[in-house]
Structure 1
Amino acid sequence: MRDPFIIETEPGTFVLFGTTDENVWGGPATGFDCYTSTDLERWQGPVAAFRPPAGFWSDTQYWAPEVFRLDGRFYLFATFASSETRVRGVAVLVSEQATGPYLPWSDGPVTPQEFPCLDGTLFIDDAAEPWLVFSRGAEGGPAGAAGIADGEMYAQRMSADLRESLGSPELLFRASAAAWSRPLTFPEGVEPPAQLRLAKDPLFTDGPFLLRSPAGRLQMLWSSFGEQGYAMGVATSESGTVLGPWSQEPEPLWPVNGGHGMILTPSAGGSRLVFHSPNDSPAERVTLVPVAFSADDLRLADCG
């Protein structure tokens, strides 16, 4: 499983989602599965959370499902792509139950269709307005458009019912803003996908997740490549709002061959960093590591 996301549906009951298709990069998509647990160690499943209905616009690259409960319903944000139209973006599904079945809610992607988007996460601001935060990677866009060398992170206002986006997306930062970010590399003898050869030495952004520190600072966990492979860093909004400006921690929170994480704080306490590690398919597994706030900064718990 890649891109894990855990929601606590009631005290002591957890549901785990993630990227679960056998060929996640380009094969025909099956859907999303989920697992349930009461102790975060033993998991039951899989449960078929989403299977595309007839006529669904996307047939490949089902990535990074994240589930949020609002007004008694569960909304799943995930990346989807179409091999026919070459569009890839974030769309919204809905269910009455955390484990599904989920049905399409948005009319296709809620992200811009002029460039490929991925890894959308929901953020509700202090005015109770919903925002989608998502990445633009380094790969090329529809119809073979040239890729970008410096991945980007965006925020997009959403309608109150989460069915559509409002206005234009706002650029938050680029991967190069983090001193620890390095160009995407592949192991010796591994040929990068064609879309990633369009950008020279690309930096990239993915896997955003927003949270408030105990003192109320708005922070974002996000992933890129670092000195030791896939890694996760932390950015802080200087204004306390989703539009920033965002400053970057000089060193990654998790530096070694693992990423696309989120912070789970169970009702019983004890925050955990949830991510996949290693980053090599099909060896990646869900990993939970204790984290804590020290001087209002997010740190691995054993680092003080």
Structure 2
Amino acid sequence: MADTEVMRLAEMPLHDPFVVADDGTRTYHLYTSNDPSVSGVEGVGTMVYRSLDLRDWTPPTVVFLAPDRARAWAADGGWAPEVHAWDGRYYLFTTLHDESEPLPVPPPGRYGTPFPLPSHRRGTVTAVSDSLLGPFTLVDASRPTPPGHLMTLDGTLYVDPSGQPWMVYAHEWLQTVDGTMEAIRLAPDLTRTVGDPVFLFKGSDASWLGEQIPAGVPHQLPPYITDGPQLHRTPEGALLMLWSTYEKDRAGDDGGLGGGYVQTYAVSRSGELRGPWEQRRPLVRDDSGHGMLFRTFEGRLMMILHSPFENARGKLYDMELRGDELRVLRQRTDLDGGG
């Protein structure tokens, strides 16, 4: 890394963070949505910060720019980028959307409510590169990777024990009211889906979401948000899914929700992607979420997330696994600056 300028997490714009610890270079790569104010590059896309120690970071490098609307199905968003090594190459997932392209509204009552609301095209795209530093190129500029009639976001890669790759994604509450987590098989080259989506769980399955709702307010008050799925296998074989939602601590005058962003998780003790999934207590509240787990080069398990939701910065935590229970040991304020 030739850059001499040093940045710290407390000063780095950082939403939906994703870390790749590259053993070959002993370098941490921290991917997030492109922010022209720090990258110096205009456009919707993905940038990466790099560090040798999780404390001092290089200024970001842009690794992906979405094509303009004339050359692709969508050109806005650039949310939740993540990079995975697969079959000798690197694959970038990031979510794009086009608010000018409405999706058909499902019939009233389909989800047991007079909703859903109007929705528009949104979904995760797949791009590929031979390098962690890009440039990444879309494998198909004409469509998102999940089914295009669904309003989805935050697709992540999961490879099951048989070697079958899946994309796990959040199905937006605008279509479902009670947001869901779903999965769909991917072709061996990750460029297309195979078969139909598989339902995993819905947002309201997290029973603790209703604990702070005042007396007299219906506990089924919509919406229930799901986003930020990330999968992690425990040494004993259980499957964990980190995910985020909005906690309901009050009802607004318009029926909307108060409360903040929450980092939580679910467990499939069977080890199967299909579950059944058990919802666990939140890991971090305080308007924090969209976290992922990674191991340091010394083998320590850590979680990174963003907080607060607006003007977000990265926060790091030492984590512990006890069986299928995930615990926060401490926030690494020595690395992220605290606050």
TM-score computed with the length of structure 2 as normaliser: 0.76
Letter in 2 for 1:168: D
C-alpha separation between the residues in 2 aligned to 1:288 and 1:4?
11
Question: Are the equivalent residues in 2 in contact too, given 1:90–1:117 (CA < 8 A)?
Answer: yes
199-208 or 260-269, larger mean C-alpha shift: 199-208
C-alpha separation between the residues in 2 aligned to 1:22 and 1:206?
25
Report the number of matched residues: 275
**Deviation of the 1:110 alpha carbon:** 1.3
Which runs of no fewer than 5 residues in structure 2 stay unpaired? 1-13, 102-119, 214-219, 250-258, 332-339
Say what the alpha-carbon RMSD is for the aligned residues: 2.3
Change (3 A) 1:271 1:100: same
Q: How does 1:271-282 map to 2 (within 5 A)?
A: 271-280=301-310
Equivalent residue number for residue 52 of structure 1: 66
Q: Secondary structure at the match of 1:44?
A: coil
Equivalent residue number for residue 191 of structure 1: none
Q: Deviations over 1:235-259 (max 9, x none)?
A: 111321111111111x111122100
Equivalent residue number for residue 92 of structure 1: 126
C-alpha separation between the residues in 1 aligned to 2:17 and 2:159?
21
Question: Are the equivalent residues in 1 in contact too, given 2:43–2:65 (CA < 8 A)?
Answer: no
Identity percentage over the alignment? 36
Equivalent residue number for residue 243 of structure 1: 274
Question: Are the equivalent residues in 2 in contact too, given 1:221–1:261 (CA < 8 A)?
Answer: yes
Equivalent residue number for residue 65 of structure 1: 81
Matching of residue 9 in structure 1 with residue 39 in structure 2: no
Of 24, 34, 47, which residue of structure 2 is paired with 1:33? Answer: 47
Matching of residue 262 in structure 1 with residue 292 in structure 2: yes
**Deviation of the 1:87 alpha carbon:** 1.3
Of 172, 185, 196, which residue of structure 2 is paired with 1:168? Answer: 196
Matching of residue 124 in structure 1 with residue 154 in structure 2: no
**Deviation of the 1:113 alpha carbon:** 1.6
Segments of 4+ moved more than 6 angstroms: none
C-alpha separation between the residues in 2 aligned to 1:62 and 1:21?
10
Question: Are the equivalent residues in 2 in contact too, given 1:50–1:101 (CA < 8 A)?
Answer: yes
Q: Deviations over 1:216-275 (max 9, x none)?
A: 2111000001255111111111321111111111x1111221000100112311111111
**Deviation of the 1:22 alpha carbon:** 6.6
Which runs of no fewer than 5 residues in structure 1 stay unpaired? 140-146, 186-198
Q: Secondary structure at the match of 1:221?
A: strand
TM-score computed with the length of structure 1 as normaliser: 0.84
Q: Based on CA coordinates, which of the two structures has the bigger radius of gyration?
A: 2
